[in-house]
Structure 1
Amino acid sequence: MIELKDVSKVYPNGVKGLEDINLTINEGEFVAIVGLSGAGKSTLLRSINRLVDISSGDIKINNQSITSASGKSLRLMRRDIGMIFQSFNLVKRSSVLRNVLSGRVAYNNTFRTIFNLFPQKDVNLALKALERVNILEKAYTRSSELSGGQQQRVSIARTLAQEAKVILADEPTASLDPVTTKQVMDDLKKINKEDNVTVVINLHFVDLAKEYSTRIIGLRAGKVVFDGPAKDATDEVFQEIYGRSLKDDELLGDEIE
């Protein structure tokens, strides 16, 4: 369970990224965060694993504050939180398998990870993760040789190898074509259902949010303006989130992100 209590973020230039956010995300939910570019989606997502430090309030993961955690405690909390980035965040010169094994770094000592001496059980876990996202045959391929969709599935496999209990995905399909987008979203939904992994995902395509999520959180200017089941997210709700009718934006292009 993820709890955000009175969370605010003010950047050094005075811009408010988040303002008085109060949310509880339960285990096993598939939550989509939507809103205009600059609404605070990425700030909210990255505050959950402390990639962004909040200015006030508290964030708890399973009743333990990640806001005040440090050292080993923080590392152990982050071990349970997988992160998927829009830009894939892979080491392009390394093999697919090596990138997936990076999800096991927090389980091994520094010597093992520096010299790529992962135990066989970790290798087997990484190979199984690649099999689950249907790219096992690419295990020994250099990551730079993969398509964008394949690279994103490597990122998903990395969170599986990490045995993450929570997956945070920041616009994971923004640079992908529609067919590949469906493959990536299907993988995330499958992991959510089969493994009961909590998924919190930033999306700029409303149709994806409605199709895949069980819950939608709408942000506007750093504030929550909607929080409810995906089925309750009507055109009127999205008009409140985006400040205009979505009928004026046929496919939600670059302006709505």
Structure 2
Amino acid sequence: MQATATQTNPIISFKHVNKIYDNGTVGLKDINFDIPRGQFLVVVGLSGAGKSTLLRTINRMHEITSGEVLVDNESVSDYKGKALRHLRRQIGMIFQNFNLVKRATVEKNVLSGLVGYYPTWRCVLGLFTPHDRKRAFQALDRVSLTKKLFSRADELSGGQQQRVAIARALMQDPKIMLADEPIASLDPRTTKAVMDTLKRLNREDGITVIVNLHSVELAREYADRIVGLRSGELVYDEPIDQVTEAGLNQIYQTKPEA
């Protein structure tokens, strides 16, 4: 298990979190668990299990129906305006489809990570300071892509595009990184490059990383802890040294019919 000190000071807490969509679909059902600061957490489960919903409640991309999501011991459920913008600055988000501006340069895509700090018009016009551009170069250096600084995003491979997305998130100086199926469309070699990058940032910068994955093998290779969801419910939660094959198999079992 995690050390007691980290358990008493979680960076994220879910308290009886429920999410029911307008059509009645249950996205999350009574989710309760804490995420210690600096942990590399992998969430696994079938498609539709609630993994993306869980991730997006942390930065309020999805609203919850009831319960509380706490970041640094503060409930974020009622955040609006400036408070919500400040929250999202602290939380980098990596998407499955990269979410890059394909015709823009790599540098411009990385600089767009500052949108939470500057007015939108300033970012659109490219009015960045020399210090901003230096930080963009440094962020690309962290993901080994400085040679692509002035390349267009659509000239890059999928793995390179995802590393640009990670560099963009680094511009926010985040304390939390959310990655929603970040390697779903990548081949094995580029998958390793992306996952290695996330793990290195977790270890070197102390960033708390939460990754949604389908691959149990990758989860076991990179995670400090594995959480499993099934039909919106938390059905598995173990530190990596206590994870077993039999336990992981339970995550993917369907419930017996009544």
TM-score, scaled to structure 1: 0.93
Q: Please say if 1:59 is aligned against 2:69.
A: yes
Deviations 1:180-222 (A, max 9, x none): 0000000000000000000000000001100101000011111
Task: Say if 1:9 and 1:17, in contact at 8 Å, map to a contact too.
Answer: yes
Give the aligned CA root-mean-square deviation in angstroms: 1.0
The amino acid across from 1:204 in the alignment is H
1:163: how far off? 0.7
User: SS of 1:218's equivalent?
Assistant: strand
Q: 2:147 aligns with which of 130, 137, 140?
A: 137
1:210–1:231 Cα contact (<8 Å) kept: no
Deviations along 1:79-128, one digit per CA (max 9) or x if unpaired, are: 00000000000011111011100111112234422311111111111110
Q: Encode CA deviations 1:144-192: one digit per residue, 9 max, x unaligned.
A: 1111000000011111111111000000001000000000000000000
Give SS of 2:54's match. Answer: helix
Q: Match for residue 172 of structure 1?
A: 182
What is the alpha-carbon distance in structure 1 between the residues aligned to residue 28 and residue 19 of structure 2? Answer: 5
The answer to whether 1:7 aligns with 2:22 is no
Pick from 14, 22, 38 the counterpart of residue 32 of structure 2. Answer: 22
Are 1:107 and 2:117 matched, yes or no? yes
Structure 2: tracts of 5 or more residues without a match: 1-10
How far apart, in 2, do the equivalents of 1:239 and 1:207 lie? 12
Write out aligned runs for 1:55-204 (5 A).
55-204=65-214
Percentage identity across paired residues of the two chains: 55
Match of 1:106, SS state, is: coil
Aligned to 1:238: 248
| Residue number in structure 2 paired with 1:249 | none
Unaligned segments of structure 1, at least 5 residues: 245-257
Structure 1 residues 38-47 or 232-241, which shifts more?
232-241
Whole-angstrom distance in 2 between the partners of 1:99 and 1:113: 10
Which amino acid in structure 1 is aligned with residue 106 of structure 2? V
SS in 1 for 2:85: helix
Distance 1:122-1:35 versus aligned 2 partners, 3 A rule:
same
Could you tell me which amino acid in structure 2 is paired with residue 146 of structure 1? L
Q: Which moved more, 1:230-239 or 1:135-144?
A: 230-239
SS of equivalent residue, structure 1 residue 100:
helix
